[in-house]
Amino acid sequence: MSPPVKVIGAFGSPFSHRVEAALRLKGVPYELILEDLSTKSELLLKSNPVHKKVPVLLHGDRAVCESLVIVEYIDEAFDGPPLLPADPYDRAMTRFWVDFMENKCSMPFWLAHWTEGEVRGRFVKEAKENLALLEAQLKGKRFFGGDTAGYLDIAACALSPWLSVIEEVTGVTLVDDDEYPELCRWAKEYASDEALKQCIPDRDELVAYFNVNKERYKMFANAMAQQ
Amino acid sequence: MAEAEVRCVDFWCNEFGMRVRIALREKNVEFEFVEEDLRVRQRSELVLRMNPVYRSIPILIHRGRPICESMNIVEYVDEVWSQPGGTRLLPADPLERAHARFWANFVDQKVFDAQHRFFMGRNEAKETAKAELVGHLKRLEEVLGDKAFFGGDEFGLLDVALVPFSSMFYGYEKHGGVDMEVECPVLARWVRRCHERESVRSVLPTGVNMYEIHKFFYGIE
């Protein structure tokens, strides 16, 4: 019998969601442990001594950290539909776009929503260029992964359920139907997928969460933008 | 003349590119080294065409198709040129693979960033970066422990990810008085062990050459 699987996560975190999404797509049952990030538990600090962050996957007595490393682990350690394509070149392409999403897209995208005035303009331009590249990757496909959601879909999750929430809370809309029809269509597919929707946080709760943290996010974003 | 089946677009002093060239040599893959001179600001037409997103090197071109981002390329090389009983850079066990990827990610996020700020910075910024850099390397030394390689008995993904940075150890001493033999003796021994491998010896430049060119790039006298 397979050792128990637990996810140490936090409400509202798209990084935590990625881990849950991967487990759900593979059909692996798990227990979710929600952290209060203002007072991190002994379990979290012990399981992720290097970064002290969520998410962490606990598989029996094993601990795996970093959301994307965890997603690849889940794909390799458990049976179930593959999250990455079989062909090595296609796998390399998937990993390339996941890395792009994580290291090039995320920050300008975040800053484009949370900064203000002139500073915003620079990030909006960069975010839109990045979004256009992702839009091109979708052409005609239901998901980035093809007919079913895969690694890149999971990595891009902040562009689906979180996006409309951030747009509502900040009043900033970057991803509109006219400019990014594929991304908008994909976002709906993602949010309505049978497996994925089970681990998407409740929208009203997510809006409330972002509203509570709004001023803090704006402050950090403006500080980051100065660097 | 037909284009080589495997081409690696890189520059001799690029630590990220060294990873790719070491991996290819470990796998005994014949390849054409296409030099992209990083001292020239403008990127070549080949780089712009093969890596339009980042416009950077290294780029592996396999049968005309580009693969970019060094660790991505290393995993691709490991998967494509795999034979039963042959060298494998990624271990078979998913947990060990996750650990290798986690720490390779740590090298990219922490070690390279601190090294960059160490060479870019002056005065306090330089000292802060230096302390962080040494701290990260000490952490990696703990991960190595008493194993021969990060991969265990076998040279693997994390060894490939980190060993190029050892060519900067001479520079760390010259630039900031960091003596790696003193700070990280276990890591220093690991570096010597890696140099016993033909792949590492043939790819890594000397510390002197690395320091000289980095002085050029960072505008250091």
What residues contact B6, with CB distance under 8 A and at least 6 apart?
B24, B29, B30, B31, B32, B60, B61, B62
Question: What pLDDT does residue A179 have?
Answer: 92
Residue-averaged pLDDT of chain A: 93
Between chains, do B79 and A88 touch, taking CB under 8 Å as contact? yes
Residue of A2, A5, A66, A137 to mutate, interface with B, max B Cβ within 10 Å: A66
Instruction: Compute the distance between CA of residue B192 and CA of residue B103 in angstroms, rounded to an integer.
Output: 21
Q: Dihedrals φ, ψ of A157, to 5°? A: -55, -30
Report the pLDDT averaged over residues B44-64. 97
Predicted local distance difference test score (pLDDT) of residue A118? 84
Find chain B residues with C-beta within 8 A of A99's C-beta.
69, 72
Q: In B, which residues are within 8 Å of A65 by CB distance?
A: 102
Q: Chain A: residue nearest B77 by CA?
A: A88
Kindly state whether A52 is in contact with chain B, defined as any CB-CB distance less than 8 angstroms. no
- To the nearest whole Å, the CA of B170 is away from the closest chain A CA by 27
Minimal Cα distance from B64: which residue of A?
A89
A87 touches chain B (CB under 8 A): no
Question: Region A155-163: what's the mean pLDDT?
Answer: 90
3-state secondary structure B151-217: CECCCCHHHHHHHHHHHHHHHHHHHHCCCHHHHCHHHHHHHHHHCCCHHHHHHCCCHHHHHHHHHHH
A contacts of B59 (beta carbons < 8 Å): none
Q: Quick one: which of B102, B197, B187, B92 has its CA closest to B155?
A: B197
Strand pairing of A56-59 and B65-68?
A: unpaired
The whole-angstrom distance between residue A154's C-alpha and the CA centroid of its chain comes to 6
Residue A137's pLDDT band (cuts 50, 70, 90): very high
State the ipTM, two decimals: 0.93
Q: Report the alpha-carbon distance of residue A220 to residue B39 in Å, rounded.
A: 36
Nearest to A76 among B62, B76, B94 (CB): B94
Two tokens at A15? 């990084």
The secondary element (H helix, E strand) that includes residue A191 is helix A181-192
pLDDT tens for B98-131 read 999 999 999 999 999 999 999 999 999 999 999 9
In which band, very low, low, confident or very high, does the pLDDT at B221 lie, cut at 50, 70 and 90? Answer: confident
**Residue holding tokens 């935590």?**
A16
Q: Which residues of A touch B73 (CB under 8 A)?
A: 92
Place of tokens 């580009």: B66
Selecting from A62, A99, A133 the residue whose C-beta is nearest the C-beta of B72 gives A99
Tokens of A124: 């909006």
The shortest C-alpha distance from B79 to chain A (Å) reads 6
**Binary contact (B67, A89; C-beta < 8 A):** yes
- What average pLDDT does this structure show over B28-36? 97
Give the number of residues written for chain B: 221
- Mean pLDDT for B51-78 is 97
- AA identity, residue A134: L
**Partner residue facing B72 (CB), from A64, A77, A92:** A92
Alpha helices per DSSP H over A84-149: 88-100, 106-114, 117-138
- Token pair, residue A105, equals 């897209």
CA distance A63 to chain B (A): 9
Q: Are A89 and B67 in contact (CB under 8 A)?
A: yes
Which residues touch A137 (CB under 8 Å, ≥6 apart)? Answer: A97, A144, A152
pLDDT value of position A226: 81
| Tokens 């809006």 sit on residue | A207
Strands B32-35 and B6-10: parallel
Which residues of chain B have a CB within 8 Å of the CB of A100? 53
Quick one: pLDDT at residue A1? 63
Residues of chain B contacting residue A95, judged by C-beta atoms under 8 Å apart: 69, 72, 75
Can you tell me the distance from the alpha carbon of A189 to that of A198, in angstroms, rounded to the nearest whole number?
14
pLDDT tens per residue, range A79-126:
999 999 999 999 999 999 999 999 899 888 889 999 988 888 889 999
SS3 at position A76: helix
Cβ neighbours of B48 (radius 10 Å): 11
Question: Dihedrals φ, ψ of A139, to 5°?
Answer: -25, 105
Q: How far is CA A168 from CA A108, A131, A173, B189, in A?
A: 18, 19, 8, 56
CB distance B76–A76 less than 8 Å? no
Inter-chain touch B53–A133, beta carbons under 8 Å: yes
- Per-residue pLDDT band at B1 (split at 50, 70, 90): low
What is the structure's pLDDT at B166? 98
Report yes or no: A76 at the B interface, CB cutoff 8 Å: yes
Task: Mark yes or no for CB contact B106/A50 under 8 Å.
Answer: yes
- Under a CB-based contact definition with an 8 Å cutoff, are residues A218 and A116 in contact? yes
Which band of pLDDT confidence, cut at 50, 70 and 90, is reported for residue A38?
confident
Half-sphere exposure of A178 (CA within 13 A, CB side): 2
Q: In which region does residue B64 sit, left (phi positive, over 0), alpha (psi from -120 to 50) or beta (all else)?
A: left
Mean pLDDT (whole number) for B66-94? 94
pLDDT-based confidence at A149, cuts 50/70/90? very high
Pick from B54, B80, B98: which is nearest to A88 by CB? Answer: B80
Tell me how far apart the alpha carbons of residues A1 and A206 are, in angstroms, rounded to a whole number: 36
B94 touching chain A per CB within 8 A: yes
Q: Chains A and B: how many Cβ contacts under 8 Å? A: 55
Name the residue of chain B whose CA is nearest to A76's CA. B94
